[in-house]
Amino acid sequence: MVNPECIAPLREELQAALPTGQCTTPDVMNQCPKLESFMREILRLHGTILYGSSRLVIKPVHIPSLGRTFPPGSILTLPWYWMSRDQDLYPNPDEFDSHRFYDESSGGCTARVTTSSDKFLGFGYGTSTCPGRFMASRVVQTVFTKILLDFDVTCMPGGQELPFNIFSSAFFMTNTEIEARIRPRAGKM
């Protein structure tokens, strides 16, 4: 909807991986690296939180790189939002690039949407990594695949100018002011 140029390549990839009448399965999704890259980029750029993996300091903690000691009672957290927009980690970090994690030369995805790292905190990191990330990402991919293949979704006039997310407390939420038109694709209903 916000990036209509992504629709045709994703539909082509899905149609090639998904023979007519076949259900979406993990094997089918594994054949869709462009979709995987697209989903990871959405999570990077449009995540739901500002901070992640918060910890309460129970004894003084010194962090040499900051030159600072944090006393008990302090809360330390990872700056998820700002890391996902760090130009040292991601070229043109404020731009949506559906192929950011897609490798043209190998035809594969450089990192899956569920891959956790110290530079990508979409599902947390280390012992705080979300154990449900595999199921959550498959559910979203399956629903997205159904919508993408069977429907045309467009923004109503003025919708492209509205912010995609709205900040509330420490969370981002989808802007409910954006109106969309959803129509069955020809021959799909």
H or E, element range at 36: helix 33-45
Judged on CB neighbours under 10 Å (0-12, 13-18, 19+), 122 is: buried
d(CA 146, CA 133): 20
Residue 155 is labelled as binding a ligand: no
Say if CB 84 and CB 117 are below 8 A apart: no
User: Could you tell me the two tokens for 176?
Assistant: 């409910």
Backbone angles phi, psi at 167, to 5 degrees: -85, 135
Which candidate, 49, 58, 115, places its Cα nearest to that of 79? 49
User: Could you tell me the two tokens for 182?
Assistant: 């959803």
List binding-site positions for heme. 130
List binding-site positions. 130
